[in-house]
Homo-oligomer: A and B are copies of this chain.
Amino acid sequence: MVSTGERPSARGSGDVADLVGRARTGDARAVARLISLVEDASPLLREVMAALVPHTGHAQIVGVTGSPGVGKSTCTSALVTALRTAGKRVGVLAVDPSSPFSGGALLGDRIRMQDHALDDDVFIRSMATRGQLGGLAWSTPQALRVLDAAGCDVVIVETVGVGQSEIEIASLADTTLVLVAPGMGDGIQAAKAGILEIGDIYLVNKADREGADNVRRDLRAMLTPAERADDGWQPPVLKTVASSGEGMDEVAGALARHASWLETSGVLTTRRTRRARAEVEALAVTALRERWGDVGGRSELDDLAAAVAAGETDPYAASDRLLESFAD
């Protein structure tokens, strides 16, 4: 799987320090290798993260979400162009939680991003989670940390598909961009889909289609403070045509305004602490699962599971005993 040319393993502290040092100067190969270490759940990650943490906190993490077909990838690409015009260094992380078997992200998205392939100040990476339950919870913040330390001003996290990932992105991002499009559901459906609570900026994409103004009006009417945690930020609803780049400069401007607001309001610290909380919790759970997995061959968990399967004990009592044995 690991070809020597592309993804050499970093074997010791010297290698890690070297990799981290080169990533901080914006070396694309070093950045790619560090994110590969995250994907592979490398034992070196502990050392890598400790080395990266002091050099993070600069990047604005922007989540992009919306139903399939709404134009997420096109919009991400157009936003990269707008941010580059504004002189920003940009990272893109495309996360595909629905691909446990193939272990890879969708080719189409990669192709769309090739407009930016030759730009040294754009880092683009697809990441898969290898089917590990909850794997996204710790691997996404770690990959974001790599891109942050590499000097990105903005990192866009794009999720493929819908579902649980939308909640996750909302809890990971500093700023959440929600895309809607005319003809893909009226306002009431938007309300049902839960998007009214999670967005900081709304884009009515494909705004050259009929009905865009209605969608915008409905969204604006629904995005009243009463519907949301009244934190003092009124989410703008912008019209865009991502395929032609129309409206993307306004989006870049709204991102900058939201970044300032995050800082002055103190919400930035709240959101970043929440992101770190999810990461630390996921790491602790993963460590516990490993401990339960093999303690001297056959673990206590295996014995407890056999007793539950045989009807000799109930699952809650087994869970209690598992946690007690850990506290010993």
Interface residues of A (CB under 8 A from B): 45-46, 49-50, 52-54, 56-57, 97-102, 131, 133-134, 137-138, 141-142, 161-164, 166-167, 192-194, 269, 272-277, 279-281, 283-285, 287-289, 292, 301-302, 304-306, 308-309, 311, 313-320, 322-323, 326-327
Cα distance, A100 to B171, chains bound together (Å): 14
Interface pair A279/B308, CB less than 8 Å apart: yes
Interface pair B279/A315, CB less than 8 Å apart: yes
Interface pair B53/A287, CB less than 8 Å apart: no
Cα distance, A273 to B284, chains bound together (Å): 25
- Given A133-B137, A269-B309, A326-B327, the answer on whether A315 and B163 have CB atoms closer than 8 Å is no
Interface pair A163/B100, CB less than 8 Å apart: yes
Interface pair B98/A163, CB less than 8 Å apart: yes
- Starting from the known contacts A98-B164, A281-B301, 4 additional A-B residue pairs (CB-CB under 8 Å) come to A53-B313, A101-B166, A102-B193, A272-B309
- Given A134-B133, A167-B131, the answer on whether A101 and B194 have CB atoms closer than 8 Å is yes
Cα distance, A128 to B167, chains bound together (Å): 15
Interface pair A280/B306, CB less than 8 Å apart: no
Cα distance, A216 to B288, chains bound together (Å): 43
Show 8 residue pairs from A and B whose CB-CB distance is below 8 angstroms, ordered by the A residue: A46-B314, A52-B314, A273-B306, A276-B306, A280-B304, A280-B305, A280-B315, A284-B323
A314 proximity list for chain B (CB < 8 A): 46, 49-50, 52-53
A50 proximity list for chain B (CB < 8 A): 314, 316-317
Cα distance, A166 to B134, chains bound together (Å): 15
A133 proximity list for chain B (CB < 8 A): 134, 137, 164
Among B98, B305, B313, B326, point to the contact of A277 (Cβ < 8 A): B305
Task: With a 10 A CB-CB cut-off, give which of A97, A161, A277, A279 has the most chain B CB atoms.
Answer: A277
Question: For residue A286, which residue of chain B has the nearest CB?
Answer: B319
Cα distance, A317 to B279, chains bound together (Å): 12
A302 proximity list for chain B (CB < 8 A): 273, 277
Question: A321 CB to closest chain B CB, in angstroms?
Answer: 9
Question: A12 CB to closest chain B CB, in angstroms?
Answer: 17
Interface pair A284/B99, CB less than 8 Å apart: no
A164 proximity list for chain B (CB < 8 A): 97-98, 100, 131, 133
Interface pair A287/B97, CB less than 8 Å apart: no
A304 proximity list for chain B (CB < 8 A): 276-277, 280
A192 proximity list for chain B (CB < 8 A): 101-102
- Given A97-B163, A100-B163, A134-B134, the answer on whether A301 and B280 have CB atoms closer than 8 Å is yes
Question: For residue A98, which residue of chain B has the nearest CB?
Answer: B163
Task: With a 10 A CB-CB cut-off, give which of A54, A131, A192, A280 has the most chain B CB atoms.
Answer: A280
A162 proximity list for chain B (CB < 8 A): 98
A275 proximity list for chain B (CB < 8 A): 309
